């Protein structure tokens, strides 16, 4: 899809993408703390740098501070202490509309009484942009998400995926340097989720702005992000590329949260992570009892319990399970190659 020169018009003067247009949306959190009245520290001395033009996923369990971090960036919350920079400008204290950010919410609810075009043009209307200009820019944004032919429709006449694209156009119409997405895919069915996910990634790459996407889903973060930030209790537990964070977890929390790993305590008390697909049944090793065998479509997932109630999983191909069948209740031993162990910080 060729749209970058059309998008240049969105801003009037500054093309947001073109051969010479640099990526935008470099973000820096410098020692940012957010303490809510009543004492809850939602974000705790956060230092985070996000490169311009990158897709970042904030990931972590409920209550770890993801949404607060996003809202601090959007200007819907203000830090108790610390600074937030967007493309080198300190944005703390600026109102949301003047930050260069745009937010796409979990419930992407469009205004039901406004046409698609007026929904997309809405924020420009709020900023006092004249009708002809805001409609032209709304059409550009709709063309970007391939929804311009639906401009006259009402939201109720669109499918869920189409509404999602209109919501994206509505967020992009102000030509933000960074797009903030709060669980944007959670309302979609799995098929649509996969499709919209691919589209988000493509839009981000083509626009060369940063996307900061909050999600509970490890799969979503691994599939989308250039940079994954795993949060825990208001702090960063680990950050890196999806490969780094999945394949080289630094802590038991990271290994367990990212999934696909077993955490074993070795005889000397050291903790290691081993991927479930690299953990094997063997004649000797970690004792465990099979608790379940599930078909996963691409193979089988065997769940097991260790002597102390620890939970393990072994991912097997169909051929491997048929070659050595196991069933719930079977006592087994687990082993792994030394090369597949990942030492974890902290001991047992
Ligand atoms: N307005 C508020 N007043 C008081 N405490 C708040 C407020 N908003 C969030 N918190 C607290 O701050 C912490 C972080 O909340 P936040 O919504 O950022 O987490 P989250 O990681 O986005 O969680 P979830 O995945 O459940 O949405 C939680 O302990 C929450 O209860």
Burial label, 256 (beta-carbon count in 10 A; 0-12, 13-18, 19+): middle
Q: Check residue 11 and give its pLDDT.
A: 39
Which of 37, 38, 65, 234 best tests ligand 1's pocket when mutated (most atoms within 8 Å of CB)? 65
pLDDT of residue 347: 56
- For residue 68, how far is its CA from the centre of ligand 1 (angstroms)? 6
Closest residue by CA, ligand 1 atom 28:
63
**Average pLDDT, 10 consecutive residues per value, the chain (348 residues):** 33 42 93 93 97 96 95 96 97 93 78 95 90 94 92 92 89 93 83 85 92 94 96 97 95 93 92 95 95 93 95 94 93 96 81
> Which residue has the least CA distance to atom 13 on ligand 1?
42
Nearest CA owner, ligand 1 atom 7: 36
Q: DSSP letter at 22?
A: P
* 32 contact partners, CB below 8 Å, separation of at least 6: 43, 45, 46, 47, 72, 79, 81, 82, 83, 84
What DSSP element (H or E) covers 163?
A: helix 160-172
Ligand 1 centroid vs 214 CA: distance in angstroms? Answer: 13
Q: Which of 64, 68, 106, 234 to mutate to test the pocket of ligand 1 (most atoms within 8 A of CB)?
A: 68
Centroid of ligand 1 to alpha carbon of 69 (angstroms): 10
- Residue in 34, 39, 40 to alter for ligand 1 test, most ligand atoms within 8 A of Cβ: 40
How many CB atoms sit inside 10 A of residue 196's CB? 18
Which secondary structure element, helix H or strand E, spans residue 230, and what is its range? strand 227-232
Q: What is the pLDDT of residue 20?
A: 58
The answer to whether the beta carbons of residues 211 and 200 sit under 8 Å apart is yes
| pLDDT in the model for residue 210 | 97
Ligand 1 center from residue 79 Cα (angstroms): 14
The rounded Å distance from CA 66 to ligand 1 centre is 8
Helix (H, G, I), strand (E, B) or coil at 6: helix
pLDDT at 7: 36
Q: What residues flank ligand 1, with Cβ below 6 Å? A: 36, 38, 40, 42, 60, 62-68, 216
Cβ contacts of 131 within 8 Å, gap of 6 or more:
none
d(C-alpha 280, C-alpha 306), whole Å: 14
């Amino acid at each position: 899809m060729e749209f970058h020169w059309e998008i240049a018009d969105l801003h009037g003067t500054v093309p947001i993408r073109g051969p010479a247009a640099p990526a935008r949306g470099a973000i820096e959190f410098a020692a940012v703390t957010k303490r809510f009245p009543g004492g809850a520290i939602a974000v705790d001395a956060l230092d985070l740098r996000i490169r311009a033009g990158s897709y970042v996923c904030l990931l972590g369990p409920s209550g770890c501070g993801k949404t607060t971090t996003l809202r601090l960036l959007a200007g819907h919350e203000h830090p108790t202490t610390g600074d937030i920079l967007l493309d080198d400008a300190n944005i703390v204290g600026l109102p949301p509309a003047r930050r260069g950010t745009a937010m796409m919410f979990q419930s992407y609810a469009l205004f039901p009484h406004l046409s698609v075009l007026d929904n997309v043009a809405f924020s420009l209307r709020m900023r006092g942009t004249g009708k002809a200009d805001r409609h032209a820019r709304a059409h550009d944004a709709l063309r970007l998400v391939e929804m311009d032919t639906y401009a006259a429709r009402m939201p109720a006449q669109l499918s869920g995926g189409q509404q999602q694209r209109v919501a994206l156009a509505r967020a992009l119409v102000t030509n933000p340097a960074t797009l903030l997405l709060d669980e944007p895919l959670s309302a979609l069915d799995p098929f649509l989720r996969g499709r919209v996910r691919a589209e988000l990634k493509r839009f981000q790459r083509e626009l060369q702005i940063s996307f900061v996407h909050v999600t509970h889903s490890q799969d979503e973060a691994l599939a989308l992000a250039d940079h994954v930030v795993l949060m825990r209790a208001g702090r960063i537990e680990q950050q890196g590329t999806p490969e780094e964070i999945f394949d080289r977890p630094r802590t038991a929390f990271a290994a367990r949260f990212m999934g696909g790993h077993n955490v074993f305590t070795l005889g000397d008390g050291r903790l290691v992570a081993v991927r479930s697909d690299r953990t094997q049944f063997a004649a000797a090793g970690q004792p465990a009892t099979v608790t379940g065998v599930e078909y996963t479509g691409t193979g089988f997932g065997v769940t097991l319990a260790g002597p102390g109630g620890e939970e393990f999983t072994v991912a097997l191909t169909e051929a491997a399970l048929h070659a050595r069948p196991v069933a719930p209740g079977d006592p087994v031993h687990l082993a792994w190659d030394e090369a597949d162990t990942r030492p974890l910080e902290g001991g047992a």
